[in-house]
């Protein structure tokens, strides 16, 4: 399980950090492949696990334009706006399924403390991302100054929650060591 969280941690780190030297040297599709393998290592096969994995694979393909094109370049294309909103939507759904998977694992292990932390982080992460998505749908019908303000606030909030999420995955990796026992999780 610890190995699974390690994959998730590195995978989401790839999504968070984008460094372009001709192309993205920390490509998102690699991140999603790691996320998919991380999910497989955390949970047994099941409906939710399969959905989370499938979405990660779908996103690995969908995120290919990120590898070649920076955010500003994508935004300059007519399709950029729709593409980015679709990407953000799929991403939040994928994370939702991931939280469902993690939550069900901790519940089955009766790891109450970790389950509570996961629930709390999940609620904050999803709420902020959903609010950000909702804001994205509104900004096309607002004035430029308002757009900048909205984007700044939402970007800052999502950045903070993404960092919190990565720290959470790192902590889970440390706490769910290979020789996992129910005792040290409770």
Partner 1 sequence: MKAKWFWGAISIILISWLGNTLYYQSKQLKDPIILSSYINIISDYERTFSIFYLTNKGENMEAMSLRLGQETLYPLGNDSYFGEMGNYVASSYYTEYIHHYLKKVDFNIDEEQLAYLKSKKINANKILMEFSGHRSLNANIEHFEIHNEPRSIKSDFSSRSVDNIGNVTEDVQLLEDAHMKKLELPQEIASLYKVNVGKSGEGAMTPIEDQSWPMDVKAKERIITQYKRKSKVQPGKYIDADILMPVTNKKNKEMGYVFHFRSEPSLTQRQVNQLVYDAKEESK
Residues that bind partner 1 (CB under 8 A): 76, 85, 89, 92-93, 96, 99, 122-123, 126-127, 130, 133-134, 137-138, 140-144
Here the tokens at position 32 are 């999603």
Identity of the residue, 13 or 93, whose beta carbon is nearer to partner 1 in the bound complex: 93
Q: What is the DSSP string of 39-62?
A: HHHHS-S-HHHHHHHHHHHHHHHH
CB of 133 to partner 1, least distance (A): 5
Question: What separation in angstroms does the CA of 38 have from each of 16, 41, 111, 126, 183?
Answer: 17, 5, 19, 20, 23
- Of 108 and 142, CB closest to partner 1: 142
In angstroms, give the least distance from the CB of 27 to partner 1.
Answer: 26
Please state whether beta strands 23-24 and 20-21 pair in parallel, antiparallel, or not at all (unpaired). antiparallel
- Shortest distance (Å) from residue 42 CB to partner 1: 19
> In the complex with partner 1, which residue's Cβ is closer, 76 or 181?
76
Nearest distance, CB of residue 78 and partner 1, angstroms: 9
Burial environment of residue 40 by CB neighbours within 10 A (0 to 12, 13 to 18, 19 or more)? middle
For the CB of residue 83, give the shortest distance to partner 1 in the complex, in Å.
Answer: 13
How far CA 185 is from CA of 44, 117, 182, in Å, comes to 18, 12, 5
């Amino acid at each position: 399980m610890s190995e699974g969280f390690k994959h998730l941690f590195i995978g989401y780190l790839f999504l968070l950090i984008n460094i372009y030297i001709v192309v993205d040297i920390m490509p998102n599709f690699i991140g999603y492949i790691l996320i998919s393998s991380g999910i497989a290592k955390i949970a047994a096969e099941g409906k939710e696990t399969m959905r989370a994995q499938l979405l990660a694979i779908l996103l690995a393909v969908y995120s290919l334009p990120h590898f070649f094109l920076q955010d500003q370049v994508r935004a300059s294309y007519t399709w950029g706006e729709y593409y980015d909103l679709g990407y953000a939507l799929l991403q939040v759904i994928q994370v939702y399924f991931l939280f469902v998977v993690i939550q069900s694992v901790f519940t089955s292990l009766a790891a109450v403390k970790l389950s509570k932390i996961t629930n709390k982080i999940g609620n904050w992460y999803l709420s902020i991302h959903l609010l950000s998505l909702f804001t994205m749908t509104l900004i096309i019908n607002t004035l430029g100054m308002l757009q900048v303000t909205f984007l700044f606030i939402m970007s800052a909030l999502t950045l903070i929650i993404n960092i919190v999420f990565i720290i959470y995955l790192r902590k889970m990796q440390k706490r769910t060591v290979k020789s996992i026992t129910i005792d040290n999780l409770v």
